Amino acid sequence: MQDVDIYSDGSSRGNPGPGGYGTVLRFVDSQGREHRKELSGGYRETTNNRMELLGAIVGLEALKRPCSITLYSDSQYLVNAFNQHWIDGWLKRGWKNAKKEPVKNADLWRRLLAAKEAHQVRFVWVKGHAGHPENERCDELATTAADAPDRLDDVGYRENA
């Protein structure tokens, strides 16, 4: 299995407001050459948490075969959902949280679970805005996308708002 590092970040100008995600994929091939791919997208009205999730989703969906992934994010919402097994509880309770309320962003959580299914994924939290080069680049991609004039409509946000 190919080892791949995915770095992702989300941004929202207001919460809700215009938002974007930024993702960097990086791996070293068998000849020792580093490969890198950057992805981003912006939305007219969304939330920061939705963009944090979408950054991870897009990175996973970009992979063409099963990989061993370390996914780095400054979103405790994303990382803790897996590392603290929140997602397991949500699934057991039929997408309800511990307060028996519907889980927010369930559309994206489902998409994320489908995107990671073929892979071995380890989630690692990194402190945001602390000088980590890939996290800083993801933040730049996300904020640029949030400010771009050609933003998309986040249908999932609109349907769940």
Q: Give per-residue pLDDT as tens, 70-96.
A: 999 999 999 999 999 999 999 999 999
| Position 129 pLDDT exceeds 90 | no
- Whole-prediction pTM: 0.94
Domains defined along the chain, listed by start: 2-160 (3.30.420.10)
Closest of 112, 19, 12, 105 to residue 58, by C-alpha = 112
**What was the pLDDT predicted at 161?**
62
5 is catalytic: no
From 55, 59, 139, 156, the catalytic residue: 139
Q: Is 20 a catalytic residue?
A: no
Asked if residue 52 belongs to a known ligand binding site, the reply is yes
Known catalytic residue: 9?
Answer: yes
Q: What is the edge-to-edge ordering of all strands in the sheet holding 67-73?
A: 34-46, 17-28, 2-12, 67-73, 120-125
Residue 147 bears catalytic tag: no
Q: What's the average model confidence in pLDDT over 41-54? A: 97
**Is 9 labeled as ligand-binding?**
yes
Average pLDDT on 99-121 reads 96
* pLDDT > 70: percent of the chain: 99
**Token reading at 157:** 């946000």
Burial 57-85 (b: 16+ CB within 10 A, else e): bbbbbebeeebebebbbbbeebbebbeee
Which pLDDT score, from 0 to 100, does residue 127 have?
87
Give residue 96's pLDDT.
95
107 included as an active-site residue: no
Task: Pick the catalytic residue from 85, 129, 147, 153.
Answer: 129
The confidence band for 4, taking pLDDT boundaries of 50, 70 and 90, is very high
Split at pLDDT 50, 70, 90, the class of 1 is confident
Q: Is 139 annotated as a binding residue?
A: yes
How many whole angstroms separate alpha carbon 158 and alpha carbon 44? 10
Which one is catalytic: 52, 55, 134, 156? Answer: 52
Q: Is residue 42 within 8 Å of residue 94, measured between CB atoms?
A: no
| Cis upstream peptide for 102 (omega within 30°) | no
Region 3-23 average pLDDT:
96
Residue 29 annotated in active site: no
SS3 label, residue 129: coil
CA distance 48 to 18: 9
Q: What is the mean pLDDT of the chain?
A: 95
